[in-house]
Chain A
Amino acid sequence: MENNSRRGFMGKAFGAVAAVGAVGSLVAMKKSWDPLPSVKAAGFTTLDMTTYQEGVMVTEKWRGKPIFVLKKSAEVMENEKGNPAAEARNIKIGDDNFMVAIGLCTHLGCIPAFRPAENDFLCACHGGMFDASGLVTKVPPPRGFDIPPFKIDGTNLILGEVGPEWQSMKDNGVTL
Chain B
Amino acid sequence: MKNKEPIILIVVIFFSLVTYYLVEPFAHGVMHKHVDSENFQYNDLPALTKTGNVANGQELIINAGCVGCHSMEKAGMPAPMDPVMAAQSYGVNPPDLSEAGAVYDAKFLAELIKNPAHALKVEHKFDESKGEMHPMVPFYGMGGDIDQEVADMVAYLQDLAVSPDEVTPAMAFENACGRCHAVGYENWTQIGTKPSFKHEKDSLAFDIKVMEYEESLTKYMGKLPPDLSIYIRSRSEDFLRTFIENPQNHLAGTAMPRVGVTADAADKVLEYMKDSGDTKRHEREEIGKMVMIYIVIFAIFAFLWKKQVWRDLH
Please list the residues of chain A having a beta carbon within 8 angstroms of any beta carbon in chain B.
Answer: 7-11, 13-14, 17-18, 20-21, 24, 46
Contact = CB atoms under 8 A, between A and B. Distances in A.
Nearest to A17: B301
A14 B302 CA distance: 6
Interface residues of B, number: 12
Contacts of B294: 20-21, 24
B298 A13 contact: no
21 contacts: A7-B305, A10-B304, A10-B305, A10-B308, A10-B309, A11-B305, A11-B309, A13-B301, A13-B304, A14-B301, A14-B302, A14-B304, A14-B305, A17-B297, A18-B298, A20-B294, A21-B294, A21-B295, A21-B298, A24-B294, A46-B198
A11 B308 contact: yes
A13 B307 CA distance: 13
Contacts of B304: 10, 13-14
A38 B258 CA distance: 36
Contacts of B301: 10, 13-14, 17
A13 to B, nearest CB: 6
The 7 nearest A-B residue pairs measured at CB: A14-B305, A10-B308, A10-B305, A14-B301, A17-B301, A10-B304, A17-B298
A8 B198 CA distance: 65
Interface of B: 198, 294-295, 297-298, 301-302, 304-305, 307-309
A46 B294 CA distance: 47
Contacts of A9: 308
Contacts of A20: 294
Given A13-B304, A14-B304, A8 B298 contact: no
A11 to B, nearest CB: 6
Contacts of A7: 305
The interface centre, meaning the residue of B198, B295, B301, B307 with most chain A CB atoms within 10 A of its CB, is: B301
Nearest to A20: B294
Contacts of B308: 8-11
A55 B198 CA distance: 24
A8 B308 CA distance: 8
Residue among A11, A17, A18 having the largest count of chain B Cβ atoms under 10 Å: A17
A17 B301 CA distance: 7
Nearest to B311: A8
A16 to B, nearest CB: 8
Contacts of B307: 10
Contacts of B302: 14
